DNA sequence: TTGACAAGTAGGAAAGTTCCTACGTATAAT
DNA sequence: ATTATACGTAGGAACTTTCCTACTTGTCAA
């Protein structure tokens, strides 16, 4: 399955990979070892998880000396957001929708 | 892993299950056979996928005669939305943010 | 009440995922 | 030049997922 939403959701369906994304989000770009320090898992496994994230376009990396700095790549999160949009009417409940409608009328 | 975001993303990381959700979203509640008609996969496998979706709270079901009508359950989509929120600043690019800022200033 | 239909469950084959340790390769430090 | 460091890759063990066919249970129709 080459569909981007499929590969992205598959990549996100793992707590280690989500924690890697959170670290890159909250602490900015960093090399593999520094990321690996946050886990009990061995470094090569972290490298494999980073490869999955790279392959689906959720992160990128640039080499500096013998280190590879990984950083978040925003575009693919948008894919998830867009996949989610048509479901919004199911979780935005009546009260929330009412508030939106009222607000819109208010500044017409 | 009992974390709801983990089980929900795992459930969403499968194209058959996402297609089931889309069908329930676009065509409303329906019994298992009617759902299964959209797939080449056998009906018991569809039942299994529906069980996964039920267990994570993405769908519910009610019995009517010998049929079970499945329908979307909105709350869990919200979980995904909320997980996504802190990443928004990475995919909402500068131009989009600028537009938002301008719009906000406009009706102050 | 017997047969047919709707749906779930059981058990298992095949494939995929996730982790490990051992090893290869490129760069930096001595 | 040699050694140490940062990282990736290879191969494989353990576990999970996804699908199948066969079977069970509950409900409706004749």
**Full-prediction pTM beyond 0.85?**
yes
Residue-wise pLDDT tens digits, B42-101: 999 999 999 999 999 999 999 999 999 999 999 999 999 999 999 999 877 655 555 555
Distance CA B4 to C1' C7 in A:
27
Name the residue facing A74 among B15, B18, B90 (closest C-beta).
B90
Q: What is the pLDDT at residue B64?
A: 96
Cβ neighbour number for residue B92 with a 10 Å cutoff? 16
All protein residues with a CB under 7 A from any atom of strand C: A 10, 13-14, 16, 40-42, 44-45, 48-49, 52, 65-66; B 31-34, 43-44, 47-48, 50-51, 61, 66-68
Q: What does each C-alpha distance from A89 to A11, A41, B17, B37, B73 come to in angstroms?
A: 26, 40, 19, 26, 11
Q: How confident is the model at residue A94 (pLDDT cuts 50, 70, 90)?
A: low
Structure tokens at A12: 């996100």
Residues 18-37/B with CB < 7 A to strand D: none
DSSP state of B86: G
Q: CA-nearest residue of chain A to B77? A: A91
Distance CA B85 to C1' D3 in A:
47
Q: How confident is the model at residue A108 (pLDDT cuts 50, 70, 90)?
A: very low
Closest CA relative to residue A21, chosen from A67, A86, A80, A65: A80
Q: What is the pLDDT at residue B91?
A: 79
Contact criterion met (CB < 8 Å) for A90 and B107: no
Rounded to a whole number, what is the distance in Å from the CA of B56 to chain A's nearest CA? 13
Contact criterion met (CB < 8 Å) for A21 and B87: yes
């Amino acid at each position: 399955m080459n569909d981007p939403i499929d590969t992205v959701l598959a990549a996100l369906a793992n707590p280690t990979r989500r924690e890697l994304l959170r670290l890159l989000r909250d602490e900015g770009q960093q090399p593999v070892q520094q990321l690996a320090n946050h886990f009990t898992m061995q470094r090569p496994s972290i490298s494999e998880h980073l490869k999955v994230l790279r392959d689906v376009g959720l992160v990128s990396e640039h080499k500096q000396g013998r280190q590879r700095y990984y950083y978040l790549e925003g575009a693919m999160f948008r894919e998830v957001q867009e996949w989610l949009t048509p479901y919004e009417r199911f979780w935005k409940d009546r009260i929330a929708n009412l508030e939106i409608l009222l607000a819109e009328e208010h500044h017409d």
